[in-house]
Amino acid sequence: MKNLQGRSAVLDVHAVDDADKEFDVEIQRKDAGAGAKRARHNSSLLDAHILKAGDDTEDIPDSYVIFITENDVMKGNQPIYPVERYVTIGENKVLFGDGSHIIYVNGKYRGNDEIGKLMHDFSCTNPDDMNYETLAKKARYFKQDEKGVAAMCKIMEDMRNEAEQNKAKKTAVHLIKLGKMTLEEIAEATELSLDIVKELESQSMQLA
């Protein structure tokens, strides 16, 4: 998903339920990747993605940005941390009710409830030790089934290729800003297509 300035976010999970509520789920191993500003950024991108040209803003559905963090980033020893906006009226605070929700899920939590069992399964490497059969079935497929293992290898290869291309794009943007090489030379040096380099140049000019 991208905003008007070209900033984007790649979501781990994007889902829509039967009530058209939109969900952005991210799994974060590093605490720094689950900061308040990151949550705000993702929430704004999700809203921009939902609202199409000509849509009435009053019809925008509720959105949920959910961070499942490896550590208890809020350090409150709670299973979840709902983040909501409130209006301060005198000494009272009233829920703003704009339909935008942010939820942090404590990946360290191991209570004997649905969230605790789910967090256990998220970190469990043995499908036979998982609580939820749906997750266990998928884990067995990717770990033990020949087709599943091949699919996982393909996913990992795609991720490596994407990481390499992103690194090449960053290098290309840096070279474009230096202005000492032609676009053709930058494309050759970074092994990116000339069209991609031209697009990066256009984006850089818009942000300048």
Q: What is the pLDDT of residues 163-197, one digit of tens each?
A: 899 899 999 999 999 888 999 999 999 999 999 99
| pLDDT recorded at residue 7 | 44
d(CA 174, CA 113): 50
Residue 2 CB neighbours (<10 A) = 11
Residue 21 scores a pLDDT above 90: yes
Mean pLDDT of 71-83: 95
Ramachandran sector of residue 20 (left: φ over 0; alpha: ψ -120 to 50; beta: rest): left
Mean of the pLDDT values across residues 121-142? 93
Q: Whole-structure pTM over 0.85, yes or no?
A: no
Instruction: Tell me how far apart the terminal alpha carbons of the chain are, to the nearest angstrom.
Output: 21
Mean pLDDT score of the chain:
88
Residue 8 pLDDT > 50:
no
